[in-house]
Amino acid sequence: MKITVDMDKCIGAGLCVVAAPQVFAQNDDDGLVIVLNENPPADQHEAVREAARLCPALVIHLQDDND
Amino acid sequence: MTDSEIVIVGAGQAGYQLAGALRDAGHRGQLVLIGDEAELPYQRPPLSKAFLSGAIGAEALTFQQPVHFESKGIDLRIGTRAERLDRVGRRLILADGSDIGYDKLVLATGAANRVLPGSEGIDGVHSIRTIADARAIRERLERSRNAVVIGGGFLGLEFAAVAREWGLAVSIVEAGPRLMGRAISQPMAEAFRAHHVALGSQLFLQAKVRRLIAEAGEISAVELEDEILLPADLVVVGIGVEPHVALARDAGIDCDNGIVVDDRLATSDPSIFALGDCAVFPSRFALQPSRLESIQNAMDQARHLAAVLTGKPAAYDAVPWFWSDQGGAKLQIAGLAQGTDREVLRGDVSGMKFSVFCYRGDRLVAVESANRPADHMAARRLLTAGLSPTPEQAADPGFDLKSLFAAAQPAA
């Protein structure tokens, strides 16, 4: 799984951090998303998918490996 | 209390989040989530943005598949309308005549878009609230040339920006003297007016619609009161909402432009709660009990009510924030600009990267930020902590707003 984010559209809602705290954080200054691990391990995939679904600005994009 | 039967009426953002949060908080009893739309619970903010622009499909809006609700023990019933409330018998009566018993009932019934009088039954006149609404508009966008937006609020302006992307000629008709009405300050409204003009929309402020003109049942033009005739093959109406209160009001629960709740989100019946778009609640950030329509309000109240219902009662105290995305301009608002008497600008106004700090007396009560997320995040924290920079500090781009937090920290 590969994570990309659209920083221009991020609004700092912070829902991704609640859903997947091991993968997402918020910048202290502007609240915008920080991806801690662009290639999260398999045990984080479900949490990351939930984060992407919950994001009200839909800025988290996921690319699944075909393995 | 954790084993009680909880029924949530309304499967929008607030109802959906509450159901999940209740399970996360350890609620073990029966949990029923009722929604009157045919769709699985989905999020609405992208409907007027990415969904209309064509960037995403409806499936991207769905929160979870049925298997998720089953695994969490959430009895999700979509396509189901609640008809009536029997408070004495603690039963919710559904449209099909069946009923569900409850120990605690939560009303997350949301709101409905106001209908423009005289627009009923005309093809091509739409509003945006549900996936079904947005689908109909998207289909229409592909074959329309002239869009008229009635109401210059967040929803109408987001649609206007998308319609310009689709190449339509766009006219925005607003009854008030400025865009986004009382929700934002004059300087920010002016910046967004200029932004929409630059995007190519035509603006009509202090303009009233006299009538909609249809040909063979299809919209063909919008006539304004000063005789201006705007050709239209797509009209989007965004003139505010009415909260869904009938279920509560008919059962004798206090309502006043919404379902009235206390700081625990309880209604006048202690077994019944309300949250989200339909609830009027007290807040230290507002001059009087208020009803807020926002993602923040739905999310924070859902988390809060989950705690209350699982035995951790506390007063709801989250700072309100809002956002809108209009043709590449990101507007973020923290706090509520009620009764303000001073506005201070910070940043680059002509470059559309600035904030408006709104004061009531010496007290900072709201900050509106255009493409200045750091100001917005600082504002959320300042307002939560009850800290106010002086107007001089707010206007000084060299002043670090975060230094106020450090100053407010007790010495270790």
Please say if the pLDDT value at position A67 is more than 70: no
Question: Topology of domain B115-237, per CATH?
Answer: FAD/NAD(P)-binding domain (3.50.50)
Judging contacts by C-beta atoms under 8 Å, the chain A residues touching residue B276 are: none
The CA distance from A18 to the nearest CA of chain B, in Å, is 11
Question: Radius of gyration (Cα) for chain A, nearest Å?
Answer: 11
The CA distance from B400 to the nearest CA of chain A, in Å, is 11
Q: Strands B75-77, B31-34: parallel, antiparallel or unpaired by DSSP?
A: parallel
The CA distance from A39 to the nearest CA of chain B, in Å, is 21
Contact A8 B45 (CB under 8 A): no
Q: Single out the residue of A66, A65, A67 nearest to residue A2, CA to CA.
A: A65
Judging contacts by C-beta atoms under 8 Å, the chain B residues touching residue A19 are: none
Find the residue in B nearest to A32 (Cα): B373
**Structure confidence by residue, pLDDT tens digits, B184-204:** 999 999 999 999 999 999 999
Type of residue found at A1: M
- Provide φ and ψ at B219, rounded to 5°: -60, 135
Judging contacts by C-beta atoms under 8 Å, the chain A residues touching residue B299 are: 13, 15
Contact B373 A30 (CB under 8 A): yes
Mean of the per-residue pLDDT values of chain B: 95
**Structure confidence by residue, pLDDT tens digits, B2-55:** 689 999 999 999 999 999 999 999 999 999 999 999 999 999 999 999 999 998
- Its CATH class, for the domain covering B6-112+241-309, is alpha beta
- Provide φ and ψ at A16, rounded to 5°: -65, -35
Please say if the pLDDT value at position B183 is more than 90: no
User: What is the per-residue pLDDT for A66?
Assistant: 60
Give the pLDDT mean for B57-64.
91
In sequence order, which residues have a C-beta less than 8 Å from that of residue B118 and are 6 or more positions away?
A: B211, B212
**Structure confidence by residue, pLDDT tens digits, B112-155:** 999 999 999 999 999 999 999 999 999 999 999 999 999 999 99
Residue B349, classed as helix, strand or coil, is coil
Chain A within 8 Å of B56 (Cβ-Cβ)?
yes
- Assembly ipTM: 0.89
The residues spanned by each domain of chain B are: 6-112+241-309, 115-237, 328-408
**Structure confidence by residue, pLDDT tens digits, A11-50:** 999 999 999 999 999 999 999 999 999 999 999 999 999 9
- Its CATH class, for the domain covering B328-408, is alpha beta
For helices B186-199 and B154-165, angle between their N-to-C axes, nearest 10 degrees: 20
Question: Apex CA B232: angle with CA B227 and CA B237, to 5°?
Answer: 90
| pTM for the model | 0.95
User: What is the per-residue pLDDT for B2?
Assistant: 63
Nearest to B323 among A8, A11, A53 (CB): A11
Chain B within 8 Å of A62 (Cβ-Cβ)?
no
User: What is the per-residue pLDDT for B181?
Assistant: 86
Q: Single out the residue of B262, B223, B4, B234 nearest to residue B118, CA to CA.
A: B223
Residues 7-46 of B with CB under 8 A from A: 43, 45-46
The CA distance from B43 to the nearest CA of chain A, in Å, is 7
Judging contacts by C-beta atoms under 8 Å, the chain A residues touching residue B64 are: 53
Size of interface A-B (CB pairs under 8 A): 46
Asked if B354 and B345 count as a contact pair (C-beta separation under 8 A), the reply is: yes
Asked if B301 and B14 count as a contact pair (C-beta separation under 8 A), the reply is: yes
Burial class (CB in 10 A: 0-12, 13-18, 19+), B221: middle
Euclidean distance between the first and final Cα of chain A, in Å?
A: 10
Find the residue in B nearest to A9 (Cα): B330
Find the residue in B nearest to A51 (Cα): B63
The pair of three-digit structure tokens given for residue A32, joined into one six-digit string: 């915008």
Give the pLDDT mean for B75-81.
97
Contact A30 B330 (CB under 8 A): no
The CA distance from A55 to the nearest CA of chain B, in Å, is 9
Q: Structurally, how many domains does chain A consist of?
A: 1
Chain B within 8 Å of A32 (Cβ-Cβ)?
yes
Judging contacts by C-beta atoms under 8 Å, the chain B residues touching residue A10 are: 373
Please say if the pLDDT value at position B412 is more than 50: no
* Position with higher pLDDT, B125 vs B57: B125
What is the Cα–Cα distance from B235 to B219, expressed in whole angstroms?
8
Contact A10 B373 (CB under 8 A): yes
Judging contacts by C-beta atoms under 8 Å, the chain B residues touching residue A34 are: none
User: What is the per-residue pLDDT for B411?
Assistant: 52
Give the pLDDT mean for B54-83.
94
Nearest to B46 among A29, A31, A58 (CB): A58
Please say if the pLDDT value at position B1 is more than 60: no
CATH number at residue A25: 3.30.70.20
The pair of three-digit structure tokens given for residue B3, joined into one six-digit string: 């084993």
Nearest to B374 among A9, A13, A29 (CB): A29
In sequence order, which residues have a C-beta less than 8 Å from that of residue B14 and are 6 or more positions away?
A: B108, B110, B275, B276, B277, B297, B298, B299, B301, B302
B6-112+241-309 and B328-408 share one fold: no
Give the pLDDT mean for B226-246.
97
What is the Cα–Cα distance from B164 to B170, expressed in whole angstroms?
7
Asked if A5 and A60 count as a contact pair (C-beta separation under 8 A), the reply is: yes
User: What is the per-residue pLDDT for B410?
Assistant: 62
What is the Cα–Cα distance from B14 to B197, expressed in whole angstroms?
35
Tell me which residue range forms the domain holding A27: 2-63
Contact A31 B377 (CB under 8 A): yes
The pair of three-digit structure tokens given for residue B80, joined into one six-digit string: 């189901």
The pair of three-digit structure tokens given for residue B334, joined into one six-digit string: 């923290």
Residue carrying structure tokens 């499909």: B57
Chain A within 8 Å of B299 (Cβ-Cβ)?
yes
Judging contacts by C-beta atoms under 8 Å, the chain B residues touching residue A21 are: none
Asked if A26 and A14 count as a contact pair (C-beta separation under 8 A), the reply is: yes
Asked if B40 and B133 count as a contact pair (C-beta separation under 8 A), the reply is: no
The CA distance from A36 to the nearest CA of chain B, in Å, is 20
C-alpha neighbours within 13 Å on the C-beta side of residue B197: 10
**Torsion of the alpha carbons at B404, B408, B410 and B412, rounded to the nearest 10:** -10
Judging contacts by C-beta atoms under 8 Å, the chain B residues touching residue A29 are: 374, 377, 402
